[in-house]
Structure 1
Amino acid sequence: MCYPTLNSSSGIGVSVRPAIVFLDKKMMQDSPIYIPTDSSHGAVDSHLSQEISTTVSEHLDESNNESTARDSEGEEKKMRKKALPMDCAPAPNEKLEQAQKMAEKFIKEKEVYKANRELIRCVALSRIIYGDGHWQLAQAFANLAHSYLILQGLPAQAIEHAESAKRTMLTGIHMPPATPEDKREILGTLVTIYFTLGVAHLAQNNGKESYLSLQKAERLMEELQELDGRVIMGLKISEKDLVIALGRTCLQQNKLDFATSYFEKAVDAVISTEGDTSPELINLYQKIAQSEQLKKNHERAIAYLLQAHSICMALHKKLSVEAAQTGLLLGKAYAATGDQQHIEAAEMYFTESLIAYQAALGAKDSLTLTAIEEFSKWLVYVGKKQQAYRLLKDSLKSIIDTYGDFSEKTAETYHIMGSICLAEGKMREAYQLFNKCLQIQIAVYGPRNRKLKEMQELLTALERSPAVHEGNRLVK
């Protein structure tokens, strides 16, 4: 029997600055970026064509009104116009500049939907000014796509607009870039397009498409660095963002050596700019540890997790959620080795993690209950069954209060407790616990679900035991 290997969750944290930030709250408790599915988000996306039409109409109406006024003015009015400033509406390029500034302002202020609306206006105005085949229209689409992904965590919308940007770049009629600055902008736009596509496909677990897009972004980044002498100003995507994304997609596809290499590059980049106690290093070290453990390099995995835990303890309180998370990962990492010499360390970190979760979140929080489940399974595995049974029994009320009487978690708890009793020869107690588990499973899955077959067969076998019928108190 092998104890399950580390599988910490991550994902894409979202920051208002355009960079990937991993939040192991959720990230990553491994997992990938959280993606809202509320249909109300689609309303924002539907504004795009409406905004384009509205902006074009506004521009035409302003032009027509100005022309009509001139035609109907008398000589005296014309003379007055020469003396007074003309009250002209802003030209489209002025509106575009204003929309870009407002988008940046709203992003800094974390006004996500207002920022998104301004970015939609940028698309509309860029189409008016430059036409359908210009790279600056592609740039506006790319910025909108990046916003949907990084600010709102909506990969489907991000892919749609990034593909629009790519089509504009590939099918538009382009003259050679007029200036070196134009060439830099075009390359930067292409980096944003392919990076956005790569991370959005990663969020949708489409590893192959993600890897291909991110590789293109990497090659374009290298070309841009050669052009700019490795000093790239104003680019939405940093080299660190890109290598982290490549590390994540390689890890998802089980390209473990590549994943480790990319994450180590990201670590070097963070340390060089933010120092060796940057909070961003916590998740990066956890990701490298995950990769190393999948390669069965348990000692290296533990070494990286110890670094992550050390930074976490320096930055946060001992009884914090962050300390609880890194402690739990260390407990699981030591447990995964299967070595007797690591039993004491595994139990210490499991215990510390559980205490921290209980202090920070309370006994009924789902993260606390998950830590109890992990700890109890390991205790059973190493033969400390009574300790595991007491831990589960003490937490049973919290599990029921949190998940309900009829839930998978409650059924699983009864199943583990029944298995402990069965292993210790307590047939009657095991039968009672398994019977409760079965009743919950019937309520959750229905009486005909195939998952129930094994439990029904076990109960039938236990009914033959005299111990189950002791005292004529057979539990039905």
Structure 2
Amino acid sequence: MGILSSCFSHTHRSQQSKIPAHKQTDELCFTCESRESEEESRTEEEETIDCMALPKHKLDQSQKKIAQLIKEKMNTEANKELIRCVILSRIVFGQEHWKCAQALANLAYGYLTLRGFPAQAKKHAESAKNKLLALKGNMASEEEEKEILGVLVLLYYTLGMAWLLQKRGKEAYFYLQKADRTMKELTELNKGYIYGMQITEKDLAVGLGRASLAIHRLNLALSYFEKAIDDVIAAKGDNSPDLISLYQELAQMEQLRRNHGQAIQYLKQAYSICVSSFTEISPQTGEVSALLAKAYAMSGESQHRDAVEIYFVKSINAYKATLGPENYETLTTIEEFCKWLVQNGDKQGAYRLLKSSLKSYVINYGVYNEKVAETLYNLSRICFPKGEIRKAIQMLRKVSKGR
């Protein structure tokens, strides 16, 4: 072994001695450059990872912050965080990545639900939709395909509801149907199970019901609202507060169909859930009570006169106790009740109610306001037939001063 080793060492030295000095220097420089290049490459990769870690961390923080702000009903601030998420997503994933389109979709939905700005919602939804449709079908995995379908459901729903807010029923129905079909496609991919979606089948059914109403397809609207009610009952039971608004919408639809008896039944169901969920003295119960009073009044049946009065009084008492006597809802309900009292011959009752609320009208609207002038005018109209001319003239003078 020693001889072999000695021979190898001698041969290696003799070969080295045969290589010119400048060649040896070149090889050494090349080796050093290669090592430096590798080190530089590693350093650049590490720096890139470090640079990306900060935006990614900020994006995660921002997404968590949005949920908290929405919970605290800080809608404007939540919307600002959604804008921040779009910017950070562009940095982290790149302009053309589907997650960037997802951030835009969330922003569009935020403008719709948090701010009630349909034009901005449509603008961002269209931008995200174009990105996603270009990517759909070219995903690396089935999971990404599912995620994109989920985002498309959100986008089509946002577009549909934004058009509905702008009173464009035909366009709203078109996009909500697309959302419904995309949801079905996603359900099939998930073998019948949907989870983690911002938009539910109940949301789609309600949206389609409202869009159907907007295009005067009442029977179709009825079927969608009934489906939404079935979905809620199946998931949360027949006493869920989520049913209140659905029964209200069904009642409105039945009133359009002149089925006043059925409308009253739906509102009675809503009232029962309100009382059990929020108590009799609550803004929610006040709202349903007022709707029930008007539904009984719309029926035009004399046997419902007592019911009209009972539910108007319940509504006013609930609003006064929870929102205050100067609140817009309180004053509007008083005004509607007074109009009904005058129409049904109880001018004295209407006068007392309006007179007792006049101070609240002034506090709420100011002395020189059209609403206050209208109240004074209505009071004068009640005084004239009773022969209270002086009172009526005083009221009218106040009206003229207000104007």
Normalising by the smaller structure, the TM-score range is 0.7 to 0.9
Aligned residue number for residue 3 of structure 2: none
Residue 160 in structure 1 maps to residue 123 in structure 2: yes
For residues 139 and 86 of structure 2, what CA distance do their matches in structure 1 show?
25
Fraction of identical pairs, as percent: 45
Shift in CA distance, 95/278, structure 1 to aligned 2, threshold 3 Å: farther
Deviation (angstroms), 1:316 = 1.7
Change (3 A) 1:295 1:96: farther
Look up the match of 1:383: 345
> Contact 1:156/1:200 (CA < 8 Å) preserved in 2?
yes
Q: Flag the structure with more relative contact order, 1 or 2, with Cα contacts below 8 A and sequence separation at least 6.
A: 1
Letter in 2 for 1:163: E
Letter of the aligned partner of 1:107 in structure 2? I
Q: Following the alignment from structure 2 to structure 1, what is the Cα–Cα distance between the partners of residues 157 and 312?
A: 38
RMSD: 3.2
1:369 corresponds, among 320, 331, 349, to 331
Q: Distance in 2 between matches of 1:173 and 1:318?
A: 53
Distance 1:190 1:362 in 2: 44
Structure 1 residue aligned with 2:108: 145
Q: CA deviation at 1:431?
A: 4.1
Would the aligned equivalents of 1:138 and 1:165 in 2 still touch at CA under 8 Å? yes
Instruction: Answer whether contact 1:247 1:259 (CA < 8 A) is retained.
Output: yes
How many residue pairs get aligned? The number is 364
Q: What's 2:90 paired with? A: 124
> Which of 263, 288, 294 pairs up with 2:256?
294
Q: Which amino acid counterpart does residue 341 of structure 2 have in structure 1?
A: L
State the partner residue of 1:345: 307
**1:101 maps onto 2:60 in alignment:** yes
Determine if the alignment matches structure 1 residue 310 to structure 2 residue 276: no
How far apart are 1:199 and its partner, in Å?
Answer: 1.5
Tell whether the 8 Å contact from 1:286 to 1:308 is kept in structure 2 after alignment.
Answer: yes
- Which residue number in structure 2 is paired with residue 53 of structure 1? none
Match of 1:242 in 2: 204
Give the structure with the larger helix fraction: 2
**Aligned residue identity for 1:355:** N
Following the alignment from structure 2 to structure 1, what is the Cα–Cα distance between the partners of residues 145 and 262?
44
The C-alpha deviation readout for 1:241-287, integer Å capped at 9, x for no partner, is 11122222333444333332222211111111112221111111111
Counterpart residue number, 2:187: 225
Alignment of 1:39-438 (within 5 A): 88-90=47-49, 98=57, 101-110=60-69, 112-113=78-79, 115-125=81-91, 128=94, 132=96, 135-170=98-133, 172=134, 176-438=138-400
- What amino acid does structure 2 have at the position aligned with 1:256? L
Q: Would you say the 8 A contact 1:250–1:259 is kept in 2?
A: yes
Which stretch has the larger CA shift, 345-354 or 172-181? 172-181
What's the CA shift for 1:222?
1.9
TM-score by length of 2: 0.80
Which amino acid in the other structure matches residue 312 of structure 1? C
What is the identity, as a one-letter code, of the residue corresponding to 1:410? V
Select between 261-270 and 375-384 the one with higher mean Cα deviation: 261-270
Alpha carbons 1:389, 1:420 under 8 Å: kept: yes
TM-score (norm 1): 0.68
Q: Check 1:95–1:153 CA distance in 2 against 1; reply closer, same or farther (3 A cut).
A: farther
Unaligned runs of 5+ in 1: 1-70, 444-476
Between the aligned partners of 1:99 and 1:216, the Cα distance in structure 2 is: 34
Query: Helix, strand or coil for the counterpart of 1:363?
Result: coil
Measured against aligned partners, the alpha-carbon deviations of 1:360-419 in whole angstroms (never above 9, x if no partner) come to 233222222112111111101111111111111111122112211111211111222222
> 1:96 Cα deviation (Å)?
7.2
Distance 2:235 2:136 in 1: 38
Larger radius of gyration: 2
**1:126 Cα deviation from its structure 2 partner:** 6.1
Listed one character per residue, the Cα deviations across residues 147-174 of structure 1 (whole Å, up to 9, x for unaligned) are 332344333222111110122234x376
